[in-house]
């Protein structure tokens, strides 16, 4: 039996064996070394490792049915224009807020400007929706996936019957993008820091015709709903790069019964991951133990202990960690490597019980592997090297990271 077939067999035993209780410790051990790109292994492993599904297989049917029904309610309450929800009542938001629904009263007239008006909220959403629209239209440009139509469009959205606003991109009113839209919550960021968060192309994807929607439109809806349910945080540029790989995995699931619910499953996996890394996106928490400054300091300290020469050179060149590792850590390396490599990295990151310890080791290894070039380069060349990491076999980087104590 080949090594690959043996690894597939190990995953089959853990994920599809006769036992009801999944051995999460064994799953973490297996996934840490990479999930085989066959069957539904990666999608299912991520759902378990991120806590969307519990370890008891017998609970999955109920959990999935409840979560998917809840997500459908989110769409009806938060995405459809006011007065067009099919259900009464309300939805509890992620921050504990109640989202009202139901018929259109006097305060819900489209011309109402009252703060409680659902229409007022509907129009005010344009500010952050503009940024989401801009970001998702250029997601993962190295592959065509996000430009392609999904086989499972949201029926209550794509069949608008001439009604404007069901499809989020139709609501976006072109305007000068204020800096508030791209700043992390808190004290804000300098323009230089904003530029470090993203390096994607300026290409924009087109929307689909009535009855269809592209994958990027689905991702737009996921981010919009997340922002609506988490008003204390809202949408921050870069979240699109976190949700993208998760959605790709769910929407590529070979099991069509799971793929049909990729949007809802992705939303809850993304929400679970964001609960762990949201401090990266909130500037007032930068110095907290889970904040990005703290993470960058940990990387810097590890580099200092592993290779003092590189550490001292970068310090003498005043090449501060935020020039490169801010984006590396905040976006979990999603912009530094091709998507298949990002998926491989995330297998290990999600399987790591200490979660981000191994991410820091990978970042440190990326620097150590380029030792010779870094020591020879001047400031400008090193900035270019670290902000545009050269092509490399990702297994070399992961193996190097695994060797770091």
Do residues 342 and 394 touch, judged by C-beta distance below 8 A? no
Token code pair at residue 344: 């491989």
Q: What's the pLDDT band for 286 if we cut at 50, 70, 90? A: low
pLDDT for position 278: 87
What is d(CA 391, CA 1) in angstroms, rounded to the nearest whole number?
Answer: 32
Half-sphere CA count of 117, side-chain side, radius 13 A: 16
pLDDT for position 174: 56
Least confident residue range of 28-37, 74-83, 324-333, 351-360: 74-83
What is d(CA 29, CA 204) in angstroms, rounded to the nearest whole number?
Answer: 40
pLDDT for position 194: 37
Do residues 224 and 216 touch, judged by C-beta distance below 8 A? no
What is d(CA 304, CA 308) in angstroms, rounded to the nearest whole number?
Answer: 5
What is d(CA 139, CA 145) in angstroms, rounded to the nearest whole number?
Answer: 9
Domain 283-403 CATH class label = mainly alpha
Do residues 286 and 292 touch, judged by C-beta distance below 8 A? yes
Q: Report phi then psi at 12, rounded to 5.
A: -60, -40
- List every span in the chain annotated with CATH 1.10.472.80: 283-403
Q: Taking the mean position of all CA atoms in its chain, how far away is CA 49?
A: 15
Q: What is the pLDDT of residues 162-216, one digit of tens each?
A: 677 788 888 876 544 443 444 444 433 433 343 444 454 445 677 788 889 999 9
Q: What is the pLDDT of residues 221-277, one digit of tens each?
A: 999 999 999 988 899 999 999 999 999 999 999 999 999 999 999 999 999 999 999
For residue 322, what are the contacts with CB-CB under 8 A and spacing of at least 6?
A: 193, 196, 296
Q: What is the pLDDT of residues 98-144, one digit of tens each?
A: 444 333 343 444 544 555 566 667 667 888 899 999 999 989 888 89
Do residues 334 and 342 touch, judged by C-beta distance below 8 A? yes
Q: Pick from 82-96, 172-186, 290-304 the range whose average pLDDT is largest.
A: 290-304
Give yes or no for residue 152 having a pLDDT over 70: yes
Measure the N-to-C terminal CA separation of the chain; round to a whole number of Å: 32
Q: What is the pLDDT of residues 41-84, one digit of tens each?
A: 999 999 999 999 999 999 999 999 999 999 999 999 999 887 66
SS3 per residue for the chain = CCHHHHHHHHHHHHHCCCCCECCHHHHHHHHHCCCCCCCCHHHHHHHHHCCCCCCEHHHHHHHHHHHHHHHHHHHHHHHCCCCCCCCCCEEECCCCCEEECCCCCHHHCCCCCCCCCHHHHHHHCHHHHHHHHHHHCCCCCCCCHHHCECCCCCHHHHCCCCCCCCCHHHHCCCCCCCHHHCCCECCCCCHHHHHHHCCCCCCCCCCCCCCCCEHHHHHHHHHHHHHHHCCCCCCCCCHHHHHHHHHHHHHCCCCHHHHCCHHHHHHHHHHHHHHHHHHHHEHHHCCCCCCHHHHHHHHHHHHHHHCHHHHHHHHHCCCCHHHCHHHHHHCCCCCCCCHHHHHHHHHHHHHCCCCCHHHHHHHHHHHHHCHHHHHHCCHHHHHHHHHCCCCCCHHHHHHHHHHCC
Do residues 20 and 57 touch, judged by C-beta distance below 8 A? yes
pLDDT for position 399: 97
Tell which residue, 371, 354, 359, 365, has the closest CA to residue 334: 359
pLDDT for position 232: 85
What is d(CA 175, CA 126) in angstroms, rounded to the nearest whole number?
Answer: 10
Q: What's the pLDDT band for 90 if we cut at 50, 70, 90? A: very low
Where residue 104 falls (left for φ over 0; alpha for ψ -120 to 50; beta otherwise) is: beta
């Amino acid at each position: 039996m080949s090594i690959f077939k043996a690894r597939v067999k190990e995953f089959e035993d853990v994920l599809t064996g006769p036992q009801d209780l999944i051995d999460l410790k064994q799953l973490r051990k297996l996934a840490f070394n990479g999930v085989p790109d066959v069957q539904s292994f990666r999608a299912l492993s991520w759902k378990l490792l991120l806590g969307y599904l519990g370890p008891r297989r017998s609970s999955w049917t109920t959990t999935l049915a409840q979560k998917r029904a809840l997500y459908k309610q989110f769409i009806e309450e938060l995405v459809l224009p006011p007065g067009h929800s099919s259900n009464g009542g309300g939805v509890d938001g992620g921050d504990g807020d109640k989202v009202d629904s139901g018929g259109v009263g006097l305060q819900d007239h489209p011309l109402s400007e009252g703060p409680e008006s659902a229409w007022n909220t509907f129009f005010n959403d344009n500010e952050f929706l503009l940024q989401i629209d801009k970001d998702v239209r250029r997601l993962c440009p190295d592959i065509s996936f996000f430009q392609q139509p999904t086989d499972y469009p949201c029926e209550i959205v794509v069949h608008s019957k001439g009604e404007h606003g069901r499809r989020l991109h139709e609501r976006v009113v072109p305007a000068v993008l204020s800096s508030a839209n791209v700043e992390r919550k808190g004290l804000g960021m300098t323009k230089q820091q904003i530029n470090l968060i993203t390096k994607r192309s300026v290409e924009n994807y087109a929307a689909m015709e009535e009855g269809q929607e592209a994958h990027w439109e689905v991702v737009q809806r996921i981010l919009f709903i997340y922002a609506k349910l988490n008003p204390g945080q809202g949408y921050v540029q870069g979240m699109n790069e976190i949700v993208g790989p998760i959605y790709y995995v769910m929407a590529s699931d070979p099991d069509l019964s799971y793929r049909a619910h990729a949007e809802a499953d992705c939303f809850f996996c993304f929400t679970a991951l964001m609960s762990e890394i949201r401090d990266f996106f909130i500037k007032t928490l930068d110095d907290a133990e889970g904040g990005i400054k703290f993470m960058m300091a940990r990387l810097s300290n590890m580099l200092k202990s592993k290779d003092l020469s590189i550490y001292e050179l970068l310090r003498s060149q005043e090449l501060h960690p935020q020039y490169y590792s801010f984006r590396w850590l905040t976006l979990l390396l999603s912009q530094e490597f091709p998507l298949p490599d990002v998926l491989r990295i995330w297998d290990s990151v999600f399987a790591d019980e200490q979660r981000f310890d191994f991410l820091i080791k990978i970042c440190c290894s990326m620097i150590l592997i380029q030792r010779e070039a870094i020591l020879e380069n001047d400031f400008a060349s090193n900035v270019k090297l670290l902000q545009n990491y050269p092509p490399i076999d990702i297994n070399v980087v992961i193996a190097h990271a695994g060797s770091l104590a």
